[in-house]
């Protein structure tokens, strides 16, 4: 099958130029179902910067959620889940786009777009978006997201297989290490089936059939005139042993085809039964139709994929049993962008598509049955709940880790077989094929359904719920993370490490922020952002290489101090009482750091005037002897990290740094202090709201700078929203993460105190909390935790409607401060004799 893919003559050039011009005026969703690349997506294939996927954010679930949140938050987009999901599919999804090798005699030019939607997945896509999830009259404004995010979203949602030889196929066989890291089940699989297939010559020869040109098919409505050279490279060179699968996002519970996932949600949110006769192109079907209608939920997910497999494997390979499932893996452990399949044949139903089908089916069912309310739950929240480690979609059974059981509960074989048979009849007339299955179709469909069931039960062994809970934390961070990066790091080494940290501190709308500074002088390279997608779009190889090389700690610290003081003054002006922590992490590659007197002086000033800033060092060589004077806790705040340019071992190397960041509690401050700690300073009564997921804990840390001396200072915590379970408030002076039944070596019963918050509030007194300590520096922080306890199996309801709630079932509480004071380290040095004397005096009085 051929199409006009590039248009070398003059008239056509003008035509493309005109289309591109029109594209700039608005996004017409219908264009993604046309047989050329939708005009608004063309720049993703024409602009060299956007064409290089390494310049786009990684294809991960948090990035997908981040981009969806940006669209939801756009004031010009007023759509509920039901409307938005349709717009997303019609605007950003276009399946089956492939590269086509231009004729040698066609000159390369700016007017040539050597890509077109010709892979088999396009035909199902078109049927889906024209008949099953039709467009509405609404459109998304064309400036809702940047070009980079638009292209990223397009690639995450659009299934296609790129079989071109890349030149790094030697790595196909070295993937075991990644696979072993990914999921436990990959180990046995990789020992038998998959590796053999990759190397198996017979399979390779068979694979060539996938690459044969399809012949003219009267069922296809696409007009094509050129029968010469515009073969896709898959067709010409189809040799890669591990083709790239597009349209996939990384999740902890296996790679998921986001287009299938979203299509399933749409199929359920806009549920309808469609007449098969309305889907059949031309007058009659080649096949007997077992039922006259199909469900939009099945057609947009599992039946769609199985029908594709039945038709293609049945006609192209003459098989009598349909193969379901092709494993694969990402070619990097951090910031994943490329998903490689372990096989070249039978790629109609890959593992990520199976997961997307099941997840989309489950979520679509929840919307269709009003378990999740499409008019109040946002799409980003629905995804966030389903792909969460603990609570799920209002019920902990409805989580991605429970996918296998959800599949068994919701999809029955008989319904799947008849839905799939009906959709086969419809898809057949919408798709160019190399033959017609003249008999045995029923058997093909039933083997497809059976293999789907057995494969998803036995082979799709993603991270289980039990392992999910033991390998994730039951607390979330809200950290303003400042990274001071030494540009002498090779980008390939430092970028995966940074990406790992950002994923784990949960940079995001409800989580942490990141700011990137240059260790050369402390200047800002990337402004503070809560968006993973924006950070990755900015921190590219080119941006890294444009940074000045080298480390100057003195000017860096001077700039950091100014930056932090400005933050404190800003917080004073906004009466900020707390909620986030702040960590400054140096990532240094240069050796022989010079720690001279001015550097130590700067560090001292930061220490004294920015009490809650935790400074950490991670260096490529051991610099302990220089750096120990620079940190608060020299045994834990300095780490040596050995990073390599292959980006391997990141987790092992960086997890000690991460756990240090995780130990820094959220701040509670007296915002009156600002950066000067001078003036009329007691806080009076002030408060802030914070939120907690059921079963989670929030940790806070209060600096002695706010409770030194002997006033009647208090913290009160009260529950201000509904929700399941109870809250427990714990406090400690020794443990940054106090909680009930803490099981850490060396904990004595007195070092952690807990109280149940039954009604009203829990009051914690900070009076005399520095008793016995002569200086602020020697008085330890005060650590507090708020822990939600929810009986297992509690059902969760929507209780939180405000924009600050990450989840609809987030529990709201209030933290109130009373009479916090202001003591800078510097101040106490100056007035130390008076203060210390009065403290002693008070202590003596107390003891009498």
Ligand X SMILES: *[C@@H]1O[C@H](CO)[C@@H](O)[C@H](O)[C@H]1NC(C)=O
Q: Where on the chain is the footprint of ligand X (CB under 6 A)?
A: 24-26, 142-143, 166, 168, 331-332, 338, 478, 480, 510-511, 524, 527, 571, 576, 579-580, 603-604, 607, 629-630, 632, 647, 777
| Cα 544 from Cα 55, distance rounded (Å) | 12
Q: Which residue minimizes CB distance to ligand X?
A: 777
The distance of closest approach from Cβ of residue 58 to ligand X in the complex, given in angstroms and rounded to an integer, is 11
| Cα 616 from Cα 658, distance rounded (Å) | 10
The overall longest dimension of the chain from CA atoms, in Å, is: 101
The distance of closest approach from Cβ of residue 454 to ligand X in the complex, given in angstroms and rounded to an integer, is 32
The distance of closest approach from Cβ of residue 148 to ligand X in the complex, given in angstroms and rounded to an integer, is 12
Count CA atoms closer than 13 A to 345's CA, side-chain side.
Answer: 23
Count CA atoms closer than 13 A to 701's CA, side-chain side.
Answer: 22
Nearest CA among 88, 187, 99 for reference residue 139:
88
Q: Are 488 and 590 in contact, with CB atoms under 8 Å apart?
A: yes
The number of angstroms, rounded, from the C-alpha of 570 to the middle of its chain's C-alpha atoms is 30
DSSP 240: -
Q: Which two tokens stand for residue 814?
A: 């209030």
- The nearer residue to ligand X, 112 or 507, going by C-beta atoms, is 507
The distance of closest approach from Cβ of residue 152 to ligand X in the complex, given in angstroms and rounded to an integer, is 16
Pairing of strands 726-732, 160-162: unpaired
- The nearer residue to ligand X, 125 or 164, going by C-beta atoms, is 164
The distance of closest approach from Cβ of residue 576 to ligand X in the complex, given in angstroms and rounded to an integer, is 6
Q: How far is CA 103 from CA 108, 210, 215, 222, 636, in A?
A: 10, 21, 19, 21, 61
The distance of closest approach from Cβ of residue 638 to ligand X in the complex, given in angstroms and rounded to an integer, is 12
The distance of closest approach from Cβ of residue 509 to ligand X in the complex, given in angstroms and rounded to an integer, is 7
The distance of closest approach from Cβ of residue 322 to ligand X in the complex, given in angstroms and rounded to an integer, is 30
- The nearer residue to ligand X, 102 or 777, going by C-beta atoms, is 777
| Cα 514 from Cα 212, distance rounded (Å) | 49
The distance of closest approach from Cβ of residue 706 to ligand X in the complex, given in angstroms and rounded to an integer, is 15
Nearest CA among 155, 26, 147, 35 for reference residue 93:
155
Nearest CA among 148, 126, 134 for reference residue 47:
148
Q: Are 581 and 701 in contact, with CB atoms under 8 Å apart?
A: yes
- The nearer residue to ligand X, 229 or 780, going by C-beta atoms, is 780
The distance of closest approach from Cβ of residue 81 to ligand X in the complex, given in angstroms and rounded to an integer, is 23
| Cα 842 from Cα 848, distance rounded (Å) | 10
- The nearer residue to ligand X, 374 or 547, going by C-beta atoms, is 547
What is the four-CA torsion angle of 514, 520, 521, 527, rounded to 10 degrees?
-20
| Cα 198 from Cα 172, distance rounded (Å) | 8
- The nearer residue to ligand X, 124 or 509, going by C-beta atoms, is 509
The number of angstroms, rounded, from the C-alpha of 444 to the middle of its chain's C-alpha atoms is 37
Residues ≥6 apart with Cβ < 8 Å to 838 = 709, 710
The distance of closest approach from Cβ of residue 47 to ligand X in the complex, given in angstroms and rounded to an integer, is 13
3-state helix, strand, coil in the chain (%, to 5): 40, 15, 45
The distance of closest approach from Cβ of residue 85 to ligand X in the complex, given in angstroms and rounded to an integer, is 22
- The nearer residue to ligand X, 481 or 764, going by C-beta atoms, is 481
- The nearer residue to ligand X, 229 or 777, going by C-beta atoms, is 777
- The nearer residue to ligand X, 362 or 776, going by C-beta atoms, is 776
- The nearer residue to ligand X, 527 or 642, going by C-beta atoms, is 527
CB neighbour burial string for 520-547, b if at least 16 within 10 angstroms, e if fewer: bebeebbeebbbbbbbbbbbbeeebeeb
The distance of closest approach from Cβ of residue 129 to ligand X in the complex, given in angstroms and rounded to an integer, is 22
- The nearer residue to ligand X, 647 or 821, going by C-beta atoms, is 647
Q: Three-state SS for 582?
A: strand
Compute how many other C-beta atoms are within 10 angstroms of the C-beta atom of residue 2: 21
- The nearer residue to ligand X, 66 or 428, going by C-beta atoms, is 66
The distance of closest approach from Cβ of residue 829 to ligand X in the complex, given in angstroms and rounded to an integer, is 11
| Cα 445 from Cα 141, distance rounded (Å) | 42
Angle between the N-to-C axes of helices 403-410 and 441-458, in degrees from 0 to 180, rounded to the nearest 10: 150
What is the four-CA torsion angle of 523, 528, 532, 538, rounded to 10 degrees?
-40
The distance of closest approach from Cβ of residue 25 to ligand X in the complex, given in angstroms and rounded to an integer, is 4
The distance of closest approach from Cβ of residue 273 to ligand X in the complex, given in angstroms and rounded to an integer, is 37
Residues ≥6 apart with Cβ < 8 Å to 616 = 583, 584, 585, 586, 631, 637, 638, 639, 657, 660, 661
- The nearer residue to ligand X, 147 or 740, going by C-beta atoms, is 147
The distance of closest approach from Cβ of residue 180 to ligand X in the complex, given in angstroms and rounded to an integer, is 16
- The nearer residue to ligand X, 378 or 604, going by C-beta atoms, is 604
- The nearer residue to ligand X, 472 or 492, going by C-beta atoms, is 492
- The nearer residue to ligand X, 204 or 826, going by C-beta atoms, is 826
Q: Are 380 and 357 in contact, with CB atoms under 8 Å apart?
A: no
Q: What are residue 755's DSSP bridge partners?
A: 729
| Cα 678 from Cα 294, distance rounded (Å) | 72
- The nearer residue to ligand X, 155 or 399, going by C-beta atoms, is 155
Residues ≥6 apart with Cβ < 8 Å to 527 = 515
Q: Are 416 and 303 in contact, with CB atoms under 8 Å apart?
A: yes
């Amino acid at each position: 099958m051929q199409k006009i893919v590039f248009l070398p003559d003059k008239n056509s050039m003008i035509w493309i130029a005109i289309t591109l011009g029109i594209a700039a005026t608005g996004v017409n969703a219908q264009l993604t179902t046309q047989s050329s690349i939708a005009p608004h997506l063309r720049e993703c294939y024409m602009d060299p910067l956007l064409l290089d996927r390494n310049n786009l954010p990684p294809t991960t679930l948090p990035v997908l959620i981040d981009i969806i949140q940006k669209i939801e938050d756009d004031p010009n987009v007023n759509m509920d889940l039901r409307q938005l999901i349709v717009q997303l599919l019609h605007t950003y999804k276009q399946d089956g786009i492939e590269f086509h090798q231009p004729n040698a005699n066609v000159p390369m030019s700016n007017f040539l777009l050597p890509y077109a939607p010709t892979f088999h997945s396009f035909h199902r896509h078109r049927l889906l978006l024209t008949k099953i999830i039709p467009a509405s009259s609404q459109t998304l404004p064309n400036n809702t997201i940047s070009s980079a995010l638009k292209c990223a979203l397009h690639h995450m949602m659009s299934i296609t297989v790129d079989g071109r030889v890349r030149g790094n196929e030697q790595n196909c066989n070295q993937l075991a290490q990644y696979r072993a890291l990914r999921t436990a089940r990959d180990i046995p699989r990789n020992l038998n089936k998959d590796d053999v297939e990759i190397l198996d010559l017979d399979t390779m020869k068979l694979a060539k059939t996938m690459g044969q040109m399809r012949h003219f098919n009267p069922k296809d409505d696409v007009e094509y005139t050129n029968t010469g050279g515009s073969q896709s490279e898959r067709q010409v060179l189809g040799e890669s042993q591990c083709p790239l699968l597009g349209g996939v996002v990384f999740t902890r519970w296996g790679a998921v085809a986001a287009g299938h996932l979203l299509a399933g949600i749409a199929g359920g949110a806009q549920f309808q039964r469609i007449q098969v006769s309305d889907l059949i192109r031309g007058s009659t079907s080649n096949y007997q139709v077992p039922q006259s209608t199909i469900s939009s939920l099945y057609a947009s997910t599992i039946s769609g994929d199985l029908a594709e497999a039945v038709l293609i494997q049945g006609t192209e390979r003459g098989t009598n049993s349909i193969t379901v499932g092709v494993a694969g893996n990402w070619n990097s452990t951090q910031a994943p962008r490329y998903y490689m399949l372990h096989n070249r044949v039978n790629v109609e139903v890959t593992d990520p598509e199976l997961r997307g089908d099941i997840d989309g089916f489950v979520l679509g069912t929840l919307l269709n049955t009003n378990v999740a309310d499409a008019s109040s739950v946002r799409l980003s929240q629905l995804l966030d709940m389903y792909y969460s480690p603990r609570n799920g979609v209002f019920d902990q059974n409805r989580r991605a880790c429970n996918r296998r059981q959800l599949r068994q509960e919701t999809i029955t074989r008989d319904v799947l077989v008849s839905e799939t048979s009906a959709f086969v009849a419809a898809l057949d007339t919408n798709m160019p094929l190399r033959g017609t299955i003249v008999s045995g179709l029923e058997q093909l469909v039933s083997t497809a359904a059976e293999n789907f069931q057995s494969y998803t039960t036995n082979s799709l062994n993603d991270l289980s719920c039990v392992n999910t809970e033991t390998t994730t934390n039951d607390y979330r961070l809200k950290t303003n993370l400042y990274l001071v990066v030494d540009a002498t790091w090779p980008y390939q080494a430092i970028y995966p490490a940074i990406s790992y940290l950002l994923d784990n501190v949960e940079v995001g709308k409800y989580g942490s922020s990141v700011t990137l500074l240059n260790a050369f002088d402390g200047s800002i390279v990337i402004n503070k952002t809560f968006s993973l997608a924006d950070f990755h779009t900015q921190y590219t190889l080119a941006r890294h290489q444009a940074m000045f090389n080298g480390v100057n700690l003195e000017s860096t610290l001077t700039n950091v101090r100014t930056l932090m003081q400005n933050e404190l003054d800003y917080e004073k002006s906004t009466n900020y009482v707390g909620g986030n922590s702040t960590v400054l992490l140096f990532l240094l590659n240069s050796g022989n750091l010079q720690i001279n007197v001015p550097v130590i002086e700067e560090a001292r000033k930061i220490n004294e005037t920015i009490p809650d800033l935790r400074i950490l060092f991670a260096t490529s060589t051991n610099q302990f002897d220089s750096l120990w004077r620079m940190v608060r806790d020299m045994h834990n705040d300095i780490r040596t990290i050995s990073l390599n340019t292959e980006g391997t071992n990141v987790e092992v190397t960086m997890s000690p740094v991460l756990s240090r960041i995780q130990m820094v509690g959220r701040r509670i401050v007296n915002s009156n202090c600002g950066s000067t700690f001078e003036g009329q300073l007691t806080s009076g009564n002030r408060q802030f709201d914070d939120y907690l997921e059921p079963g989670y804990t929030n940790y806070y840390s209060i600096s002695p700078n706010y409770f030194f001396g002997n006033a009647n200072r208090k913290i009160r915590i009260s529950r201000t929203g509904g929700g399941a379970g109870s809250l427990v408030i714990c406090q400690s002076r020794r443990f940054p993460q106090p909680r009930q039944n803490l099981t850490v070596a060396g904990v004595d019963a007195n070092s952690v105190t807990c109280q149940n918050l039954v009604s009203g509030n829990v009051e914690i007194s900070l009076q005399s909390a520095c008793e016995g300590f002569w200086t602020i520096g020697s008085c330890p922080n005060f650590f507090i935790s708020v822990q939600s306890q929810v009986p297992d199996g509690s059902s969760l309801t929507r209780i939180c409607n405000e924009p600050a709630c990450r989840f609809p079932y987030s529990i709201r509480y209030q933290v109130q401060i009373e009479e916090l004071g202001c003591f800078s380290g510097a101040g106490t040095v100056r007035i130390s004799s008076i203060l210390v004397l009065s403290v002693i005096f008070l202590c003596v009085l107390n003891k009498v």
